[in-house]
Structure 1
Amino acid sequence: MLSLIKLPRVLTISQVPKVFHEDGIISGYRYPYSTAKDCVLSVFQLTNETLNIWTHFLPTWFFLWKLLVVLVEGDWQDCYRWPLVVFLFSSCLYPLASSCAHTFSTMSERARHICFFFDYGALSFYSLGSAISYSSYAFPEKWVNSMFHRYYIPAAVINSIISTGLACYSRSAVRTNVKLGKCLRTVAFAYPYIFDSVPLLCRMFVCSGDGCTVNEATAVHYLHTALAIFTGFLFATHLPERLAPGSFDYIGHSHQLFHVFAIIGTYFQLTAIELDMTLRKQWLQTHSQPITFTNTLGAALLCVTSCLCIIHIFIQELFTTTKNDNHF
């Protein structure tokens, strides 16, 4: 069937505008002003984006299945499950947004920015989903009900909103300085993760003795934390393609590896959260602060609404400053 369809041609780096360039990637670029149909068809041919798309699109369905199982089999009257629902929803949203962004980002320069605005918003929401689940299930016993614990979710909401704004700014306002934009984007993703992980890092590396919550989930937390650090390294360094430009254009470049290890990390993160949720349920329900609509679903809705408003502002600004882009 596909043999009867004319697939879009692929180009080299010299044939596409600078905004589409990727460090160390020489060939395999899609036509920069493709139609939506061409973008969809391109996922069935080998380009430098093909595996970026599939490595996040396929796992979306796994996390969606996990979410549906929780929703169908769970009791909505049991608020103890709400943080898990928020985390699973964010785990569905970020890979889906990413795969869509990579699919349709070659419709125009303006479309590329807009696609990744939504990608960044989804990543920021995922960081909040992680924080909500950590607050409810993963805090070390010594920190439960502390001042840090009480203000952890409000701070995480603010961090996610700032992260979305900073990441969008890195594309919109610094388009002429790619290195500065990449630096701002790295900071935008790194600092919410570091803040969200403080209770885990304390639990794993600082806390000792009673109240440090060592259980079966602890080893899995070590694993997904290590994977998160490795994905950050790949995102920041553009290795291995930076060492051998052109050798990893289609398979094995850093963004593909970033996607693969990020998804694996999310899977182990989910496993650790579910273990803590199950193993600590009785103790947490007795000693921890109550799980409410405000600090779970309400916080998630506030974050999503705020991030969408920020994205809308940057899209409006983009249309204002790129009126001469006739390819959108």
Structure 2
Amino acid sequence: MMGRPGGLETLKSRCNSSRSLSHSGSYHILDIEIDRGFEPCDSGMCHTVQGDIPLYKYSEVPHFLQGNPYVVHGYRVLLPFNLCVKSLFIWSNETLNIWSHLAGLFIFIYLLLYDNIIVIPANNGSLADHVIITLGIFCFQFCMACSAGFHIFCCHSERASQRWLAVDLTGISMGIIGCYLPAVHYAFYCLSIWRDLYLIIIFVLTGATLFIQLNPNFLKPSWARHRLLIYVGLVAYGVVPTIHWFVENGGWESRVVQLFVPKVIVVYLLGMLAFFFYISKFPERLFPGMFDYVGSSHQLWHVVILVTFLWWHQAGNEILLFRTSHECEA
């Protein structure tokens, strides 16, 4: 269901009403204002009406929603909590951003159960295997949930948008840990000292990234390039343990190297593809307004990230099978 086009007078009214900060009959969770005694169906959340949620043009929305001038239509603006949730069921320029990662969350919930109940026991896995696989999938779930949450509530208010951006960035850090954790554990399965050292380094780097987020400037648009470089560096660090693992296993002559180096290459190619969409704003840069609802760069970024996580999860299961069926050399 497509939301109706909004008018400037309606938007001005919303802006004025949003300036009345805290009401005695409401409370806040992550800067989302929720009425006390909130009942979903009484608020109208159970019935989505097209006229409830107007959509606006890029030129009409507040500055904190102006991130991509090539996405011209379909913006939700200053919605209360119940309409943010209801907007899940209308067609806006955030619909695919939201549902791509909500779907990812549900997929990884299923994979968490499937791996622990079927895959790991079938491969004679240990308790440590259950823990590592579970933690890795949980990181992916957390990333998907944080991303979907940001895109649902970023239109609530400027403060909520900033708070949920911080949540989203935290989810990205967790998603990166989810990639490293099983990979390093199984790659250095027979070299526990190096395994522990690399895991410690990864957690320290991720902790430093989260600490930098506390800087008041970190979430400002002027820091967008710095944020991007920090996360690119965090991902690129994975080349270091990969080269070490390659050498320790005897190079291309090793069966395990032949099996898994191509998978590592694919995951980095997918990462570069996602990065390309994120920074280039392709394809909407070439045809402004054409990809407002389907096919914009951020939507493609979401899909590629989900595919990357799924690819790496499958690779993790395959290296689990390899390690449980091959003894460590003395």
Match of 2:319 in 1: 276
1:85 positional shift: 1.3
Letter in 2 for 1:9: P
3-state SS of 2:75 partner: strand
| Structure 2 match to 1:262 | 305
**More displaced, 70-79 or 44-53?**
70-79
Report what 2:179 is aligned to: 130
The counterpart of 1:159, out of the listed 201, 205, 210, is: 205
Q: Higher relative CO (CA 8 A, sep ≥ 6), structure 1 or 2?
A: 1
267-276 vs 122-131, which deviates more? 122-131
For the pair 1:239 / 2:282, whether they are aligned, the reply is: yes
Aligned ranges 1:1-328 → 2 under 5 Å: 4=49, 6-23=51-68, 24-31=70-77, 33-73=78-118, 78-139=127-188, 144=191, 149-167=195-213, 169=215, 172-173=216-217, 178=221, 180-200=222-242, 208-211=251-254, 213-283=256-326, 286=328
Q: Retained in 2: the 8 A contact 1:140–1:212?
A: no
For 2:225 and 2:67, locate their aligned partners in 1 and report how far apart those are by CA, in whole Å. 15
Of 201-210 and 82-91, more deviation after overlay is shown by 201-210
1:91/1:126 contact within 8 Å kept: yes
Residue type at the aligned position of 1:214: V
Instruction: Check 1:69–1:111 CA distance in 2 against 1; reply closer, same or farther (3 A cut).
Output: same
Give, in whole Å, the separation in 2 of the partners of 1:194 and 1:174.
21
SS in 2 for 1:47: coil
Gaps of 5+ in 2: 1-45
Partners of 2:162 and 2:48 in 1: CA distance: 32
Report if the CA contact (8 A) 2:140-2:174 is conserved: no
Q: Percent of pairs identical after alignment?
A: 22
Give the CA deviation at 1:69.
2.5
Q: Which has the higher helix share?
A: 1
**SS of residue in 1 equivalent to 2:257:** coil
* TM-score in terms of structure 1 length: 0.76
Letter in 1 for 2:100: T
Number of aligned residues? 279
Tell me if the contact between 2:154 and 2:161 (Cα under 8 Å) persists in the aligned partners: yes
CA–CA separation in structure 2 for the residues paired with 1:175 and 1:273: 33
C-alpha separation in 2, matches of 1:5 and 1:12: 17
Alignment gaps of 5+ in structure 1 = 289-328
Cα 1:236–1:5 change in 2 (3 A) is closer
Deviation at 1:200, TM superposition (A): 3.4
For normalisation by structure 2, the TM-score amounts to 0.75
Q: CA deviation at 1:244?
A: 2.5
Q: Give the letter aligned to residue 94 of structure 2.
A: E
Which is greater in Rg? 2
Q: Find the aligned partners of 1:282 and 1:174 in 2 and give their Cα distance.
A: 46
- Over residues 260-301 of structure 1, what are the superposed CA-to-partner deviations in whole Å (9 max), with x where a residue is unaligned? 011011111111111111112354x6359xxxxxxxxxxxxx
Q: 2: distance between equivalents of 1:153 and 1:125? A: 14
SS in 2 for 1:99: helix
Deviations 1:79-128 (A, max 9, x none): 13322111111111111110111001111000001111111111111212
Q: Relative to structure 1, is the Cα distance of residues 98 and 201 closer, same or farther in structure 2, using a 3 angstrom cutoff?
A: farther
Distance 2:280 2:188 in 1: 32
Q: Which amino acid aligns with 1:195?
A: Y
Change (3 A) 1:162 1:242: farther
1:216 offset after TM fit, Å? 3.5
Are the counterparts in 2 of residues 128 and 156 from structure 1 also a CA contact under 8 Å? yes
Is residue 212–residue 218 contact of structure 2 (8 Å, CA) maintained in 1?
no
How many angstroms apart in 2 are the aligned matches of 1:21 and 1:150? 43
